[in-house]
Structure 1
């Protein structure tokens, strides 16, 4: 018996004497509303995490509270409004993550007493609320699934931080497992290749080359030992081989830099601009570091970078959708979960 746990108060009671395994999918997060107040709440939680901004000293607190949280929410709210799921009044990231949880539950329904749920690291539904709900359902074992193919301290590690933080307040703690990064998992690489080829077959043009764009991070984090760019490079190389592409036909770049510090290079927007100026006319971008489409893929890449490309002489641009809750994408998540649940179900 496998179920998706409702995210409201109408939860079914736990069955006495029936131990359950909880599976919690976790993605980064999203504002609750596409307006300045909603974005401000989200950004404050996100940027106050020392895993995200490691120097949380007085200077940063002044910048965050005195400048960023006064100016940035209004601008980012306009970006969210461009991609907002108005039918459900939520961001696409929330819509997709919910669908992933529902399809995972259906996909492992024949593997015993498993309850599947989903949460956001920042924003709602919170990890605390969902972990507590799973334990109330009788889950004495919990598998946390960070939906980040590549590990970084600012993503995967902070999910673990929050999970353990929640457990410190529980008298009866569930046994905890966390899925590892899957950046070079053959199922993941194959799913990416299948998704890319399927999308390219629908385009009225053939790209001159493609970019594999990953979320960036400050170079100082890497200098301190974060393995993230090494794993991004491994994903890119495995994807090149799977697609049969030469190195100059799939380039690795990094997007979404923030502030004045040097970040991982080459930068996606600068590369898009350079390629267009050098005569590249047709470009496609895949984002292998994102398990679900979100602001960074739908607005930043499909919107902003498409404009940069065409403004500088490019003619045709396409952002390839993330795996989301597609059949190939769900196969990756299902196989990852079943592998890590061995011995529990």
Structure 2
């Protein structure tokens, strides 16, 4: 991470007892969903409690939801979720793949920003749930002299349960600051030409290595209750457009690509079709060779490495599917970093220009 901190100095003409103030700079704070500190029961329980207590994620009344969450769900789910995390854990670095990849993305973006703006910017990352917290990283940036901060939730599509709740945490953290910086947030970037190009390149790169091309590319997005769509959340429409733009860039027709939604939770209806069911239907319909990509995720995580590559793969194979290919998230691929930097630089206009 690029740490553009510099020695603080007393302002010119200020009295001798005036506190020193660091040189003014711009902060770029990336944000991802979050990760437990470990996969043991109590680490998982802390993380899941914070995540599932977010009213943007589960909007049931607290009096109804919290007893069920704390007394029933969190007595069992930390064990199953912990086992899932253990199966993908980066043991060498003692962290989840999401943490490792987010660090790599931050370092790559920092390198680009440093090359263009030098020590006038500071780049770091935070997590909406778990550590490092949004509040701690905002505090660090303010202490380092960031008088303007661009907040960058790493979600291509806008949704209440993802980018909106990340923004909520950022704005709440601002309430603790006596000297509040000027702030901006980025818009959804699912339709950014460079993002679509990066997705297309990842598909083409995977297909080029295959002797027999897949019968179907399944674009699996994280799900949400259908009710959220009816209440005005733009996520579903942006997912559909994301798939269409990818299809057009690849030069395909509708018979080769589809949109589905994964990670269904609870009893109410969620956005359909459900990925885990649809891949089985594809296999039964004779499409024995499929590929799955996850355009809603900026980094591989539990929902891709474990859910897609294990649970959803199993559903496909049990229904008669023969070849299942998971196309990794864009992670720190150069084309992805280029797309994210283009989004960031657009939002920095008027604040700073390249050196």
> Normalising to structure 2: TM-score of the pair?
0.93
Distance (Å, rounded) in 1 between the aligned partners of 2:336 and 2:202: 9
1:315 correspondence with 2:322: yes
The 4+ residue runs of structure 1 with deviation greater than 3 A are 11-17
Q: Does 1:22 align with 2:24?
A: no
What is residue 2 of structure 2 aligned with on the other side? 4
Query: Secondary structure of 1:111's match?
Result: helix
Deviations 1:218-270 (A, max 9, x none): 01111111111010011010000001111121100000010111000000000
Task: Identify the match of residue 100 of structure 1 among 101, 105, 113.
Answer: 105
How far 1:318 sits from its partner (Å)? 0.8
Structure-1 separation of matches of 2:161 and 2:8: 35
Aligned mates of 1:264, 1:254 — CA distance in 2: 6
Superposition CA RMSD, Å: 1.4
8 Å CA contact 1:119, 1:126 repeated in 2: yes
Q: Which residue of 2 aligns with 1:62?
A: 67
What residue is the counterpart of 1:202 in the other structure?
Answer: 209
The answer to whether structure 1 residue 340 and structure 2 residue 347 are counterparts is yes
Residue 137 (structure 2) pairs with residue 130 (structure 1): yes
**Cα contact 1:290–1:322 (8 A) shared by 2:** yes
Find the counterpart in structure 1 of residue 271 from structure 2. 264
CA contact under 8 A between 1:26 and 1:159: conserved in structure 2?
A: yes
Instruction: Report the equivalent of 1:71.
Output: 76
CA contact (8 A) 1:21 1:142 kept: yes
Structure 1 segment 229-244 matched on structure 2, within 5 A? 229-244=236-251
State yes or no: 1:90 paired with 2:95. Answer: yes
Cα distance in 2 for residues equivalent to 1:205 and 1:300: 25
Structure 2 unaligned runs (5+)? 10-20
Instruction: Answer yes or no: is the 8 Å Cα contact 1:153–1:226 preserved in 2.
Output: yes
Aligned length: 339
Cα shift at 1:70: 0.4
Matched, 1:292 2:292: no
What is residue 149 of structure 2 aligned with on the other side? 142
Confirm whether residue 35 of structure 1 aligns to residue 34 of structure 2. no
- Could you tell me which of 214, 221, 230 is aligned with 2:228? 221
Deviation of 1:42 (Å): 0.5
**What is the TM-score of this pair, normalised by structure 1?**
0.95
Which whole-Å CA distance do the structure 2 matches of 1:30 and 1:117 have between them?
17
Q: Secondary structure at the match of 2:117?
A: coil
Whether the aligned pair in 2 keeps the contact of 1:18 and 1:138 (CA below 8 Å) is: yes
Deviation, 1:14, is 4.8
- What do the CA deviations read for 1:5-52 (whole angstroms, capped 9, x no partner)? 49xxxx765575621100001000111101221111111000111111
Q: Paired residue for 1:165?
A: 172
Per the TM alignment, residue 281 of structure 1 is displaced from its structure 2 partner at its CA by 1.0
CA distance in 2, matches of 1:42, 1:225: 28
In structure 1, how many angstroms separate the alpha carbons of the residues matched to 2:271 and 2:140?
A: 39
